[in-house]
Chain A
Amino acid sequence: DQQVKQNSPSLSVQEGRISILNCDYTNSMFDYFLWYKKYPAEGPTFLISISSIKDKNEDGRFTVFLNKSAKHLSLHIVPSQPGDSAVYFCAARSSGTASKLTFGTGTRLQVTL
């Protein structure tokens, strides 16, 4: 039973346009949601996070939106740049469990010129 789902395995966006990556979850006990970015042959790197008590968090070109009633979050990248091409993982932290993270399967974003 996958508690964190990323239903789009891949996404292609033109440079300068908005990229929207989606993530759904089932566990109401998650208290933090994170996005990680991964380049080939490297480890994931933290991108942005949001607490379950917030509905939006912004950091430069990256914004994460959380809709708790729908158990859905999304990552917006505006404007998209070729260097954003990577695999993006959505992750959720379970409260009170040694900060264990549950990851989605990832979405491969390709930003084209």
Chain B
Amino acid sequence: NAGVTQTPKFRVLKTGQSMTLLCAQDMNHEYMYWYRQDPGMGLRLIHYSVGEGTTAKGEVPDGYNVSRLKKQNFLLGLESAAPSQTSVYFCASMLTSGSHEQFFGPGTRLTVL
């Protein structure tokens, strides 16, 4: 099993450009999450999904959109990137609500110039 994978690993964008980050998991997990990590701060939840076709806002959702068209994939979109979105983005998945352990991907380092 590959676990949780993220594509791409690194990306540099110019202000105003758009991009999509892809998260894939092969563990048949129901729940998936997108976080961002900034220096001196913990991981902050952007959006999450409790199942295929469902999404919900987390703590810092502004400027991001998500989609969960397939159970194994969770996409994070930036429609018009801003320098404040420079961060490391982590995707995580969890089996069900009865679990408490989230499994994380390796992260995507995004720089917005």
Q: Which residues of A pack against B, CB within 8 Å?
A: 4, 6, 9, 32, 34, 36, 41-46, 49, 89, 91, 93, 98-106
In the complex, A43 Cα to B6 Cα: how many Å? 10
Q: Which residues does chain B contribute within 8 Å of A4, judged by CB atoms?
A: 42
Q: For chain B, what secondary structure do more than half of its interface residues adopt (helix, strand, loop), or is it mixed? A: strand
Nearest B-chain residue to A5, judged by Cβ: B42
In the complex, A4 Cα to B92 Cα: how many Å? 19
Q: Which residues does chain A contribute within 8 Å of B103, judged by CB atoms?
A: 46
Q: Which residues does chain B contribute within 8 Å of A45, judged by CB atoms?
A: 104
Task: Please report the total number of B residues contacting A with Cβ < 8 Å.
Answer: 27
Q: Which residues does chain A contribute within 8 Å of B4, judged by CB atoms?
A: 43
In the complex, A5 Cα to B50 Cα: how many Å? 27
Nearest B-chain residue to A105, judged by Cβ: B42
Q: Which residues does chain A contribute within 8 Å of B112, judged by CB atoms?
A: none
